[in-house]
Chains A and B, each alone.
Chain A
Amino acid sequence: MKKENRFLDYIKIILVEVVAFFLFLFFLKVESIWTVIVAILLVALIYFLSKIYKEKFQALLEPFSRYQNFAIGVLFILLVLYPIISPLMIVHSTYWTLILIQTGIYIMIALGLNFQLGSTGMMNLATAAFYGIGAYTAGLLALKLGWPALITIPLAGLAAAFAGLLLVIPIYKTKGHYLALVTLAFGFMLVLAADNIEVIGGPQGLKNIPPVNIFGYSFLNNIGNLHFYTNYYYLVLALLGITILVFARLFNSWVGLTSAYIRDDELAAKGCGINTNFRKLIVFVVGNFFMGVAGALYAHMIGFISPPNFQFAQSLLIVAIVIIGGMDNILGVIVAAILLVVFPEKLRVITEYRIFLYGILLVVTLILRPRGILPFGPRKYDSSILKFARKGGS
């Protein structure tokens, strides 16, 4: 590509992202089932256009892959601006901010699971449980010991991570559907335990968990005329950014490669000298860490948690996000999270049929795209490696 196209490319990127951003805002704004239908039609339209005008479409997307960082930067700026713009357009802006925050939290959990399930092929049907362990740890530390969120959040992550170690033997001895069932059972057990242990509030759960408070700045304060959820929005945005960076780097490293090999052919992996069980254990622990962090965030934000928040249905939602998004693909996970968390909120307009449609949606997506919306692509490791390989070595 020639240099002088660069600015045109930048413009393209900005244009596309800004338009998409505002379309999304409109989508949130309009309280009508039609938005969903229009949105679906729109996606379909773009899909077909991309089929018809292949090369033109490529021309449009090409800049994104070339100036990836720029594209991400622009997107980030837009996301930072969101809380300031949205109140001007949307009546229920606080509500949608809350929903977006929760979407962010779900993405964080889903990325944790994606590392286990998508990258390494370990089914974990107890995500909600680990998420819950994080939430409870943070809640208890904050309530009983009065520790600040800055400490409770990482500790919550560690707690969830080490809870994963309880399953060390199953992980070593079982795989596939069997591991799936073990985790499922584990999840059920934890929720029922939480229900019956009075010390942690039993079914009453934990109330009045103090909000995040960083160096004396309480997240309950409104920022100017922006609502206090905005604080959490930025907090989650930041942590989510870190999470994505971490997992992107892991994907483009020996870790990602090793995991992928374990996922696709465990025997061959052993044959290449990989201690598969130990690797899987670490992956499991790392994944759970992020679920725990997400749980802590939720606990501090809502201030109330109870066992029902962490039931099997939640785990299913997470699994659905990863699998529909496309295994081992961070972008796919994000798209799917928006699809499965934000869309249903829109479908509230037709409350009665919402869950029904949700089920249909799952089935149809997977029939049309059995490998998910965005299956994983080639591992690029690093632009320098790419260039080097393009040169054909030496």
Chain B
Amino acid sequence: MTSASIFLQIIFNGIMLGIQYSLIAVGFSLFFGVLDVINFAHGDIFMLGAFVSLILINVTGMLTASGAVYIFLLILVIILSMIIVGGLGVFFERIVVKPVSKGPTLMSLVATLGLGIAIREAVRLFYPRGSETKRFPELLVKLFPGKEAIEFKGVILRYDNLLILAVGVIVVILLAIYINKTKMGLTIRAVAQDAEAASMMGVNKNLIIDVTFFIGSALAALAGFMNGLYYNSIIFDMGAMAGIVGFSAAVIGGLGNIYGAIVGGFLFAMVESLSAALIPKGSEYMTVIAFAVVILFLVFRPSGILGERAYERV
């Protein structure tokens, strides 16, 4: 295994992480756009995504199925979990996020942190044996009977990972299309750009907010599902760090900017895995280094990569 192939492998791993980070970061960016809140509970929504899909897997009993039925159930589980968690996202937005978002910005920050803690603990307490690490079945392996991965020059590209990646990319593209082409998407952007102007144009802000939270949470749920497939183990507090990382990614990209969030997600992941690989003792420091990069970004590009540095209206 040459150093080159190690490098490639690491890049690939970085991409695998990046797609998950991005999907979380998009949520942060969307919410900030429409409601000017940093929803710190978002990381735990991501965790809910993983657990809900695990429940669905057991309920549908898809593990025993096979063939077309299996694939159908798989897709069903993904979509259902996205819908359910998306709904939950809207629910939390209605009862917590929106109400507090009217207060000072930082209030909402703490309120959502509290919400996150509540969700996390609820799972730990009320999910059977909630404090344990949960096994997440390797659903995709079944789709590729026989060989599990393609390997060239020692680089392992597992089919299931490739599939995860593919799904992620497709979803991101769909999102981009939705935001740019559909009426609702455009309104969301309008609100994100300038809430007052949009509301003057007679936009039903509440509807927009609901839709946004639904999309954001659904994406987080998907990320959670991917995370489960990728690591085959999920735990109630997996959302805490994911939330912080997603937030960082969103900020790097420029809050309120969806593409920025995606770029930020990949960037963060790349920095992490590269520093872990290239720097001695890097694995201990990788998060630190990633955060250092974040700081540098904020200092030299304060409004993020793609954040438009608008003139403040005096």
- Determine, out of B2-10, B46-54, B112-120, the stretch whose residues face the partner at the interface: B112-120
Across the interface, name the chain A residue whose C-beta is closest to B301: A173
- Determine, out of B66-74, B170-178, B220-228, B282-290, the stretch whose residues face the partner at the interface: B282-290
A188 at the interface (CB under 8 A from B): yes
One of B104, B106, B125, B294 near A185 (C-beta < 8 A): B294
User: Judging by beta carbons under 8 Å apart, are B298 and A181 in contact?
Assistant: yes
Q: With both chains docked as a complex, state the minimum distance between the C-beta of A23 and any C-beta of chain B, in angstroms.
A: 27
User: Judging by beta carbons under 8 Å apart, are B107 and A178 in contact?
Assistant: no
B251 at the interface (CB under 8 A from A): yes
Chain B residues lying within 8 Å of A293, measured Cβ to Cβ, are none
> Complex formed: what's the CA distance from A363 to B122 in Å?
14
B151 at the interface (CB under 8 A from A): no
User: Judging by beta carbons under 8 Å apart, are B288 and A355 in contact?
Assistant: no
Chain A residues lying within 8 Å of B111, measured Cβ to Cβ, are 362-363, 366-367
A110 at the interface (CB under 8 A from B): no
Known: A170-B299, A363-B96. A316 touches B106 (CB 8 A): no
A189 at the interface (CB under 8 A from B): yes
Across the interface, name the chain B residue whose C-beta is closest to A327: B104
- Give the interface centre of B99, B105, B117, B281 by most chain A CB atoms within 10 Å: B117
Across the interface, name the chain B residue whose C-beta is closest to A320: B110
User: Judging by beta carbons under 8 Å apart, are A362 and B284 in contact?
Assistant: no
B302 at the interface (CB under 8 A from A): yes
> Complex formed: what's the CA distance from A182 to B291 in Å?
8
Number of interface residues of B (CB under 8 A): 48
Which residues of B (248-285) have their CB < 8 Å from a CB of A? 248, 251, 255, 281, 284-285
User: Judging by beta carbons under 8 Å apart, are B114 and A361 in contact?
Assistant: yes
One of B100, B122, B292, B294 near A356 (C-beta < 8 A): B122
B166 at the interface (CB under 8 A from A): no
- Chain B, residues 86-108, CB within 8 Å of chain A (1/0): the string is 00000000011001101111111
Which residues of A (172-189) have their CB < 8 Å from a CB of B? 173-174, 176-178, 180-182, 184-186, 188-189
> Complex formed: what's the CA distance from A193 to B299 in Å?
21
One of A192, A323, A355, A358 near B106 (C-beta < 8 A): A323
> Complex formed: what's the CA distance from A117 to B105 in Å?
12
B109 at the interface (CB under 8 A from A): yes
B184 at the interface (CB under 8 A from A): no
- Chain B, residues 222-257, CB within 8 Å of chain A (1/0): the string is 000000000000000000000010011001000100
B186 at the interface (CB under 8 A from A): no
> Complex formed: what's the CA distance from A196 to B285 in Å?
9
Chain B residues lying within 8 Å of A184, measured Cβ to Cβ, are 244, 291
Chain A residues lying within 8 Å of B1, measured Cβ to Cβ, are none
B55 at the interface (CB under 8 A from A): no
> Complex formed: what's the CA distance from A176 to B108 in Å?
13
B150 at the interface (CB under 8 A from A): no
Across the interface, name the chain A residue whose C-beta is closest to B101: A370
A4 at the interface (CB under 8 A from B): no
> Complex formed: what's the CA distance from A381 to B299 in Å?
37
User: Judging by beta carbons under 8 Å apart, are A366 and B110 in contact?
Assistant: yes
> Complex formed: what's the CA distance from A181 to B106 in Å?
12
A372 at the interface (CB under 8 A from B): yes
User: Judging by beta carbons under 8 Å apart, are B100 and A370 in contact?
Assistant: yes
> Complex formed: what's the CA distance from A117 to B110 in Å?
13
Chain A residues lying within 8 Å of B298, measured Cβ to Cβ, are 170, 173-174, 178, 181-182
Number of interface residues of A (CB under 8 A): 44
Which residues of A (135-184) have their CB < 8 Å from a CB of B? 169-170, 173-174, 176-178, 180-182, 184
User: Judging by beta carbons under 8 Å apart, are A192 and B285 in contact?
Assistant: yes
> Complex formed: what's the CA distance from A192 to B281 in Å?
12
Across the interface, name the chain A residue whose C-beta is closest to B113: A316
User: Judging by beta carbons under 8 Å apart, are A366 and B118 in contact?
Assistant: no
> Complex formed: what's the CA distance from A177 to B95 in Å?
23
Chain B residues lying within 8 Å of A188, measured Cβ to Cβ, are 287-288, 291
A359 at the interface (CB under 8 A from B): yes
Chain A residues lying within 8 Å of B117, measured Cβ to Cβ, are 355-356, 358-359, 362
Q: With both chains docked as a complex, state the minimum distance between the C-beta of B95 and any C-beta of chain A, in angstroms.
A: 8
User: Judging by beta carbons under 8 Å apart, are A319 and B110 in contact?
Assistant: yes
B164 at the interface (CB under 8 A from A): no
Chain B residues lying within 8 Å of A362, measured Cβ to Cβ, are 110-111, 113-115, 117
> Complex formed: what's the CA distance from A371 to B108 in Å?
10
- Chain B, residues 104-146, CB within 8 Å of chain A (1/0): the string is 1111111101111111111001000000000000000000000
User: Judging by beta carbons under 8 Å apart, are B110 and A182 in contact?
Assistant: no
One of B107, B287, B294 near A370 (C-beta < 8 A): B107
> Complex formed: what's the CA distance from A188 to B135 in Å?
29
B314 at the interface (CB under 8 A from A): yes
A246 at the interface (CB under 8 A from B): no
Q: With both chains docked as a complex, state the minimum distance between the C-beta of B155 and any C-beta of chain A, in angstroms.
A: 30
User: Judging by beta carbons under 8 Å apart, are A366 and B292 in contact?
Assistant: no
A72 at the interface (CB under 8 A from B): no
> Complex formed: what's the CA distance from A324 to B107 in Å?
8
Q: With both chains docked as a complex, state the minimum distance between the C-beta of B231 and any C-beta of chain A, in angstroms.
A: 22
One of A185, A361, A370 near B103 (C-beta < 8 A): A370
Residue ranges of A at the interface with B (Cβ–Cβ < 8 Å): 117, 123, 169-170, 173-174, 176-178, 180-182, 184-186, 188-189, 192-193, 195-196, 267, 312, 316, 319-320, 323-324, 327, 352-353, 355-356, 358-363, 366-367, 370-372
A-B contact pairs, 20 of them (CB 8 A): A123-B109, A170-B298, A173-B300, A177-B255, A180-B38, A182-B294, A185-B291, A185-B292, A185-B294, A192-B287, A323-B109, A327-B104, A352-B125, A353-B125, A355-B117, A360-B118, A363-B115, A366-B111, A367-B96, A371-B103
Residue ranges of B at the interface with A (Cβ–Cβ < 8 Å): 32, 38, 95-96, 99-100, 102-111, 113-122, 125, 244, 247-248, 251, 255, 281, 284-285, 287-288, 291-292, 294-295, 298-300, 302-303, 312, 314
List 8 extra interface pairs beyond A182-B294, A366-B107, A371-B107, CB under 8 A. Answer: A173-B298, A173-B302, A177-B251, A180-B109, A186-B295, A189-B291, A323-B106, A370-B107
User: 6 closest pairs, A vs B, by CB?
Assistant: A362-B114, A370-B103, A359-B117, A359-B118, A185-B291, A356-B121
